[in-house]
Amino acid sequence: MRKFLVAGNWKMNGDTARNRELVAGIIAGSKPSETVEVLVCPPFPYLAAVAEQAGDSHVMVGSQNVSEHESGAYTGETAPAMLRDVGCTYAIVGHSERRTLYGETDDQVAAKYRAALDAGLTPILCIGETLEEREAMQTESVCSRQLSAVVAATGIEAFASAVIAYEPVWAIGTGLTATPEQAQDVHLHIRSMLSAENAEVAAGVQILYGGSMKGENAPGLLTMPDIDGGLIGGASLKSADFLAIVEAAVEVAGS
Ligand code: PGA
């Protein structure tokens, strides 16, 4: 059985005091669970402090990006091993904001994915279509292209312990959410693609939905058979909002 993963992508938000309060609230307001995993992805300067605060609680810590290089002359970059060193266990790769604002290509995302995995981090690979692409009926082909680039570079076995986040770009930070059926269709497409390569690996991959997920729409999304959690931006910045999604996952898992 796949577990749910509820992951907060804080993006470029927070400060020391607010982070402490948020993490304390999440730890206090959720429980270690066999069925629901909880992850927070703070900005780089706060990763070590948040990892220390999370300690051996059930709350895990990940980064929002990672370098594809191991070490060396890459000013401004952060190596996967450094993230492990400060207590991260996950790294988001290929978020649409990285692709759009910083020009990350499919090949670069694949290299980051491989580098994260090689350092012992679990990569969360983000894929998803823009509004224009959805309207042009290209949702599946865009997701296929973004996913194939990584599968081709790493091999299907590299997905045995990975996470994919389907994030329709038109739903990110807009308040628009894919309906549970729209999201499920794409999640199923993603799992079927992987399944054509290796059914066992495909059955184990956690596929998260991201794009204006919140407490109100989480139950409908999480009830879908191929939606295994959420990558949450806006609603991850207040513990009550984030915990409402964790709670929804706990309820769906138990029902
Ligand atoms: P949102 O962001 O929940 O604010 O739409 C999701 C994301 O970008 O990961």
Grade residue 196 by pLDDT with cuts at 50, 70 and 90. Answer: very high
**What is the Å distance from ligand 1's center to 72 Cα?**
32
In the annotation, is 21 catalytic? no
Assign a CATH topology to domain 4-254: TIM Barrel (3.20.20)
Q: Of all protein residues, whose CA lies closest to atom 3 belonging to ligand 1?
A: 233
Mean pLDDT for the stretch of residues 133-148: 96
Confidence (pTM): 0.97
Encode burial over 143-164: b for 16+ CB neighbours within 10 A, e otherwise. bbebbebbbeebebebbeebbb
Report the pLDDT value the prediction gives residue 2, as an integer from 0 to 100. 95
- Ligand 1 atom nearest to 174, measured from its CA: 5
Q: Of all protein residues, whose CA lies closest to atom 7 belonging to ligand 1?
A: 233
Best of 5, 6, 9 for a ligand 1 pocket test (most atoms within 8 Å of beta carbon): 9
Q: What end-to-end distance do the CA atoms of the chain give, in Å?
A: 14
Query: What is the Cα–Cα distance from 223 to 22, expressed in whole angstroms?
Result: 27
User: Does the pLDDT of residue 37 top 90, yes or no?
Assistant: yes
Best of 212, 216, 221, 245 for a ligand 1 pocket test (most atoms within 8 Å of beta carbon): 212
Percentage of residues in the chain with pLDDT exceeding 70? Answer: 100
**What is the Å distance from ligand 1's center to 113 Cα?**
20
Report the pLDDT value the prediction gives residue 175, as an integer from 0 to 100. 87
User: Does the pLDDT of residue 1 top 90, yes or no?
Assistant: no
Report the pLDDT value the prediction gives residue 55, as an integer from 0 to 100. 97
Report the pLDDT value the prediction gives residue 253, as an integer from 0 to 100. 96
pLDDT per residue as tens digits for the range 171-184 = 998 988 899 999 99
Q: Token pair of 151, please?
A: 């599968």
Are β-strands 206-210 and 229-232 bridged in parallel, bridged antiparallel, or unpaired?
parallel
Domain boundaries, the chain: 4-254
Report the pLDDT value the prediction gives residue 138, as an integer from 0 to 100. 97
**What is the Å distance from ligand 1's center to 192 Cα?**
25
Catalytic residue (one of 95, 104, 129, 187): 95
**What is the Å distance from ligand 1's center to 74 Cα?**
28
Grade residue 233 by pLDDT with cuts at 50, 70 and 90. Answer: very high
Cβ atoms < 10 Å from Cβ of 115: 21
Report the pLDDT value the prediction gives residue 255, as an integer from 0 to 100. 82
Query: What is the Cα–Cα distance from 139 to 18, expressed in whole angstroms?
Result: 37
Query: What is the average pLDDT value for the chain, to the nearest integer?
Result: 97
User: Does the pLDDT of residue 242 top 90, yes or no?
Assistant: yes
Mean pLDDT for the stretch of residues 135-164: 95
CB 126 near ligand 1, within 6 Å: no
Mean pLDDT for the stretch of residues 140-144: 97
- Ligand 1 atom nearest to 211, measured from its CA: 5
Q: Token pair of 109, please?
A: 């995302």
User: Does the pLDDT of residue 93 top 90, yes or no?
Assistant: yes
Report the pLDDT value the prediction gives residue 224, as an integer from 0 to 100. 98
User: Does the pLDDT of residue 161 top 90, yes or no?
Assistant: no
**What is the Å distance from ligand 1's center to 166 Cα?**
11
